[in-house]
Structure 1
Amino acid sequence: MVLNSVKETGVLVVGAGPSGLALACDLARRGVHALVVERAAALFPGSRGKGLQPRTMEVFDDLGVVDAVLAAGGPAPVGMVWRGGERQGEHRLFDVPEPTETAPYTTPWVIPQRRTQEILLARLRELGGDVTFGTAVTGLTQDADGVTAELSTGGTVHAAYAVAADGGRSTLRRALGITMAGESVGPHPMLVADVRVPALDRDHWHMFPAADDSGLYAALCPLPGTQDFQLTAQLPAGATPDLSLDGVRGLVAARTHLGADDVTEVRWSSDFRPRAALADRFREGRVFLAGDAAHVHSPAGGQGLNTSVQDAYNLGWKLGAVLRHGAPDSLLDTYEEERLPNAARMLGLSTRIHRGEARRGAATQQLGIGYRDASLAAETREGLARDALRAGDRAPDGPCGAGTLFDAFRGPHFTLLAVGTDAELPPPDGALLHVHRIPPYEPYGKGLFLVRPDGYVGWAGEDARGPAEYLASLDLKQP
């Protein structure tokens, strides 16, 4: 589809990466039309962001794509260390707890980034949306009523809001004058490629430490649902990566026991300099930054794509509240308030893992991310135990009637959960508020919990008037 005239939309999303597609899906199910424009002619073709963390799997559950993601991927394989062509034994990259009632997804899930994006695009099309490929934003202005974007096709788009989800080198971020401060997290450039290596078994994530004291390494990770491996390799400082078939073959032969001819195909290849960078703000008027446009991570620890998807999940319900439920524009200020500090923490974690200063563990699963100190967290109880669930925390899963709490939460609505209390509850309010009552449940204790559309507790207390007062403070109305 080519845009060559004036078009009106609720939200202009610039970039069809994971954050842009997830945001468009979330908006579409809320009845908010998003026009997604992508400079490239097609979706990203490589495997780069291949690891999905448990919290992202929960987001995908809510967005209706988790079954497709589970079918297309697989658990992260156990590492196998090689030296001198001999297997040295297995190496576990991270600790993986068993699934529980409160957290049904605990295993990092490996799926090529291209498949994640294909699944999100298919879901967007199911919801009535699409992506306009081969279209870049060449100019953007904004006023009190919206934004106007000029497109490379010669068309113009008017939107209430725009979201820059156009990657670490974001054109839109630069045009807005938003700076991104960062640092290199290591001196070595990296090569990443999707390769075919039939001679190598697909039961392990194969790791090849340097044979000398250079510290350089290579690794080959089997990609579920494909015949490919993802090759990652550190290169000497100052080296210029050779991304050609012969260059990748030569690198594999030099770093592993495999021969150059064992690499039968290079399906995609790229290079990058590992760095950590964070935008100084995530909002400029009616334009928001999301994903790599707002924060750039080292790939170590698998935080970049996951943090990006959760940016979209946080912003989506707030844009929906403003555009569909009449909430004030000031609600959108909480996007930066909540996401910027969390992005900063995840950047620090990625950098420490890259430098070998931290291990992949509970923090990388992102289940502990929360917004307790943010303005939307209203905790009205006193004397709580240190480990008690509080407003601002992720709402745990658990049994609810014939299903689960995640079943109850699924959708664009708020959920009022009454746990072990006979308090009189307000009636459900159409698409805005669903109400459920369950017996006492240890992860929650007892009380009333108003769960936001993104699965975090917004209000917690015992006074049945509190949830209505909280929603009234947001000034939400039925569309």
Structure 2
Amino acid sequence: MTHTAPSDQQKFDVPVVIAGAGPVGLMLSILLSRQGIRNIIFEKREQINTMPRARGINVRSVEILTQLDLGEELRRGSLPPTWARQFVYTETMAGELIGIMPGNMGPGMAADHSACEYRVAAQDRLDPMLYAKARSFKECTIHFNHEVVDYVDNGSAVTVRIADRSAPQEVAPLGIRAQYLIAADGGKSSLRWSAQIGDAYNATYRSFVAARFHGDLSAYSNGREGALIWTLAPDAAGVFHPLDGADNWSVQIQYDPNSENPDEWTSEHVIQRIRRMVGVPDEADLDIELVKYYKYTLTVSVADTFRKGRLLLAGDAAHRTLPHGGWGLNTGIHTAHNLAWKLGAVLRGVAPDALLDTYNNERREAALRNCEFAKVNAGYIEKMMRALRESSSVEERRRIVASSKQYGNWIGLDLGIHYEGTEGPGAFVPDNVSPPPVSNAVIEYVPHAKPGWRAPHFWARTAIGNHRISAVSLFDQDFVLLTGADGHAWISAAGELNKGHKPRIQPLRVAADGDLVPEAVSFGDLYGVGPTGAVLVRPDGHVAYRAASATQDVLQDLRTALDCALGYQTHH
């Protein structure tokens, strides 16, 4: 198999061009820059996003952001914990309380399985963090008012045409030669259209009016704090999204398409609908400062392929999912995390271009799974809302809310993120050990280390320095080999492989006298290995290989496992 050697990079203007400075494009830039890989982002807008849009950042995404040293800043910019731990259902915000459903988003809810917590932080908080972080690297350049309008892939390089949107129309687009082009240019990606990449999955659902506004609603929200505050009254149906726990809000206003045309709504009309959802009379003194409103249609799609030659799709250009459960942004973050280490390995010359095929296979599998979850969740919510509207008593509505546990509880889908190879071979060596059974894979999580799955968290002390760390914090830019107490043969094998032209493996013996001393957990039971066994974890924290015990040829088997994780070999 061919691969691009580092010396080849001098033939290109830049290794990677990224179209789009949304959260996924910025994440990719950061992750590539950390590997020393130069990249240029072209964004057609004048600035980064200023609207809240997506809000829920799941635990796995927070783990990734924490590795980028953004965890504390994210915590400060998130919704206060009092608001984040539950969903609230009312007739109107000021009206009758129907019920409260605790979720897995509150403080400490994931403490058994992660050092991080779910955060409710809208994109107008997250995007500036990512932008500042991306700009802090010398490897990154960002151009606003510049749009990637087309590209030509000649097999060994891609020539990208860039239009300066602030220049006169007669100015010809600029041409840049790169090794790879990443289309992170949104759900209406012009690059995906240009590449004639279709949909493997596409569906359109209901529309609503989204609005952002400022207003002091504390007199009505006190005692009803929630990450979502649903209003169920027939003429005031919708959901409030608190953005800061104070006076910054977004709202989704439901409407009847048979009798209402939101395209004709004025600002005053939107404000009146918001007041109706709050539940205050027309004469009440409630000042609503409307920032922006627009009609939004829920669409789900997954591209036929996430790569075509040297074009790689990411974010909404690759997959769009419903907002129910917050999986649009999170799927994009996980996609960036998967792509960045693989593209980095290819560009550094330690992996063949074929490794990028596993990006397509793994992330399409995850996107299809998340879209199916969002579709089921949306149907579940619609069914619940219909039952609430048709219920005949407050007691009946409360029983319906009490049975809505799946909506707001999805730790199984969050920390159980995994790849099985259903869309093609992945960058791991499958084993024949079944994952632990659960009755509901969305809301239940049982940690384990089956290849393809996120390697589970456990607390440990380091032999050097006696630092208390989560094992997840180790799975960052290197491959990590965790062995049992008697895994010395694996440690030696990793040392031998580190002498060659391969990515570095960090070998760690997990034992009372080892490199990592686990706290209150049996590493062998958690990871499914014996004292002589070992687990190889990829730079994105997914298990690449597991051996329950020492094999007959540890060095050769570890070399083969690494080759599979790098795309030199495939396992079906």
TM-score by length of 1: 0.89
After superposition, the Cα gap between the structure-2 partners of 1:475 and 1:334, relative to the gap in structure 1 and judged at 3 Å, is closer
After superposition, the Cα gap between the structure-2 partners of 1:385 and 1:344, relative to the gap in structure 1 and judged at 3 Å, is closer
C-alpha displacement of 1:80: 3.2
What is the 5 A alignment of 1:252-271?
Answer: 252-258=274-280, 262-271=286-295
CA distance in 2, matches of 1:217, 1:383: 44
C-alpha displacement of 1:255: 3.1
Partners of 2:456 and 2:472 within 8 A in 1: no
After superposition, the Cα gap between the structure-2 partners of 1:236 and 1:36, relative to the gap in structure 1 and judged at 3 Å, is same
- The amino acid that maps onto 1:104 is A
CA distance in 2, matches of 1:281, 1:355: 27
CA distance in 1, matches of 2:78, 2:435: 40
Which of these residues, 279, 294, 301, is aligned with residue 277 of structure 1?
301
Partners of 1:94 and 1:361 within 8 A in 2: yes
After superposition, the Cα gap between the structure-2 partners of 1:377 and 1:172, relative to the gap in structure 1 and judged at 3 Å, is same
Which of these residues, 497, 504, 507, is aligned with residue 435 of structure 1?
507
After superposition, the Cα gap between the structure-2 partners of 1:259 and 1:222, relative to the gap in structure 1 and judged at 3 Å, is farther
Question: What do the CA deviations read for 1:2-27 (whole angstroms, capped 9, x no partner)?
Answer: xxxx9811111111111111111111
C-alpha displacement of 1:332: 0.4
Which of these residues, 326, 336, 345, is aligned with residue 302 of structure 1?
326
Partners of 2:27 and 2:130 within 8 A in 1: yes
CA distance in 2, matches of 1:304, 1:63: 20
CA distance in 2, matches of 1:103, 1:135: 40
C-alpha displacement of 1:352: 1.7
- Alignment partner, residue 70 of structure 1: 75
Partners of 2:87 and 2:408 within 8 A in 1: no
Partners of 1:301 and 1:364 within 8 A in 2: no
CA distance in 2, matches of 1:448, 1:397: 16
CA distance in 1, matches of 2:332, 2:132: 19
What is the 5 A alignment of 1:141-290?
Answer: 141-153=152-164, 154-180=173-199, 181-186=201-206, 189-200=207-218, 201=221, 204-205=225-226, 207-212=229-234, 217-224=237-244, 227-237=247-257, 239-241=261-263, 245-258=267-280, 262-290=286-314
Which of these residues, 361, 370, 375, is aligned with residue 426 of structure 2?
375
- The amino acid that maps onto 2:239 is A
- The amino acid that maps onto 1:333 is D
Question: What do the CA deviations read for 1:440-467 (whole angstroms, capped 9, x no partner)?
Answer: 4132143211110000010111333233
Which of these residues, 468, 471, 475, is aligned with residue 562 of structure 2?
471
CA distance in 2, matches of 1:38, 1:231: 27
C-alpha displacement of 1:473: 4.8
- The amino acid that maps onto 2:334 is Q
C-alpha displacement of 1:170: 0.7
Partners of 1:12 and 1:159 within 8 A in 2: yes
- Alignment partner, residue 342 of structure 1: 366
Partners of 2:351 and 2:567 within 8 A in 1: yes
- Alignment partner, residue 459 of structure 1: 545
Partners of 1:303 and 1:364 within 8 A in 2: no
Q: Which moved more, 1:351-360 or 1:201-210?
A: 201-210
- The amino acid that maps onto 1:469 is T
After superposition, the Cα gap between the structure-2 partners of 1:372 and 1:437, relative to the gap in structure 1 and judged at 3 Å, is farther
C-alpha displacement of 1:99: 3.0
Pair 1:80-2:88 in alignment:
yes
What is the 5 A alignment of 1:88-99?
Answer: 88=97, 90-92=99-101, 94-95=103-104, 98-99=109-110
Q: Which moved more, 1:449-458 or 1:138-147?
A: 138-147
Question: What do the CA deviations read for 1:204-256 (whole angstroms, capped 9, x no partner)?
Answer: 136343433x8x72222221377301211222226224675323212212333
CA distance in 2, matches of 1:55, 1:394: 9
Partners of 2:472 and 2:541 within 8 A in 1: no
Q: Which moved more, 1:267-276 or 1:256-265?
A: 256-265
Which of these residues, 515, 535, 551, is aligned with residue 449 of structure 1?
535
Structure 1: stretches of 5+ with no match in the other structure: 1-5
TM-score by length of 2: 0.75
CA distance in 1, matches of 2:214, 2:265: 15
Q: Which moved more, 1:192-201 or 1:129-138?
A: 192-201
CA distance in 1, matches of 2:267, 2:434: 64
Partners of 2:85 and 2:103 within 8 A in 1: no
- Alignment partner, residue 148 of structure 2: 137
- Alignment partner, residue 338 of structure 2: 314
Which of these residues, 112, 133, 140, is aligned with residue 123 of structure 1?
133
CA distance in 2, matches of 1:32, 1:337: 24
SS of the equivalent of 2:269 reads: helix
- Alignment partner, residue 389 of structure 1: 449
Number of residue pairs aligned between Structure 1 and Structure 2: 467
After superposition, the Cα gap between the structure-2 partners of 1:384 and 1:391, relative to the gap in structure 1 and judged at 3 Å, is same
After superposition, the Cα gap between the structure-2 partners of 1:396 and 1:269, relative to the gap in structure 1 and judged at 3 Å, is same
Partners of 1:353 and 1:360 within 8 A in 2: no
State the structure with more CA Rg.
2
CA distance in 1, matches of 2:265, 2:174: 36
CA distance in 1, matches of 2:326, 2:102: 12
